[in-house]
């Protein structure tokens, strides 16, 4: 496993004002909320860099929405990935009509993400920012 402290520090070094401005306008969120969403996206991307073979599926929600905005500014996103972890974190959309088995697998993978999040950051992720795949009204995004 890579040095989590180094990756976390490097991730926090990165400033993305164009991404956050675009996200705030598109999703009509406050500057404070955008910063909270950014902090969570950083944590997600760092965990992906620390565990590149792990599957960490995301449900549609604010963290995923911000990631989609970040991906659209490809130079900033690629530069972030290279600077922070030296690997490009690809976006893998989930199935448009998942089977019950796929949903169960995604839930198990998400449970692994929650466990590794807590181990890495010494706290659980805020539930309101991390909707769970398979819950009523929650769509699988990536």
- Average pLDDT value for the chain: 92
The pLDDT of residue 42 is: 97
Nearest to residue 90, comparing CAs of 78, 106, 104, 105?
78
Structure tokens at 80: 């972030």
Q: How far apart are the first and last CA of the chain?
A: 24
Taking only the tens place, the pLDDT of each residue in 21-58 is: 999 999 999 999 999 999 999 999 999 999 999 999 98
Confidence of residue 16 (pLDDT cuts 50, 70, 90): very high
pTM score: 0.92
Give the three-state DSSP class for 4: helix
Name the region of 86 (left: φ>0; alpha: ψ -120 to 50; beta: rest).
left
Return the ∠ at Cα 128 (arms to 76 and 17), rounded to 5°: 20
- b/e 35-61 (16+ beta carbons within 10 angstroms → b): ebbbebbbbbbbbbbbbeeeebbbbbb
pLDDT tens for each residue of 59-74: 889 999 999 999 999 9
């Amino acid at each position: 496993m890579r040095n989590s402290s180094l990756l976390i520090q490097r991730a926090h070094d990165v400033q993305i004002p164009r991404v956050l401005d675009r996200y705030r306008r598109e999703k009509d969120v406050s500057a404070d909320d955008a910063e909270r969403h950014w902090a969570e996206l950083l944590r997600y991307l760092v965990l992906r860099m620390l565990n590149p073979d792990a599957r960490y599926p995301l449900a549609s929600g604010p963290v995923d929405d911000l990631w989609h905005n970040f991906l659209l500014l490809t130079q900033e996103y690629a530069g972030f990935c290279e600077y922070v972890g030296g690997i490009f974190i690809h976006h893998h959309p989930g199935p448009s009509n998942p089977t019950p088995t796929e949903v169960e697998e995604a839930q198990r993978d998400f449970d692994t993400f929650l466990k590794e999040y807590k181990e890495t950051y010494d706290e659980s992720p805020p539930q309101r920012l991390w909707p769970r795949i398979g819950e009523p009204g929650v769509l699988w995004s990536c």
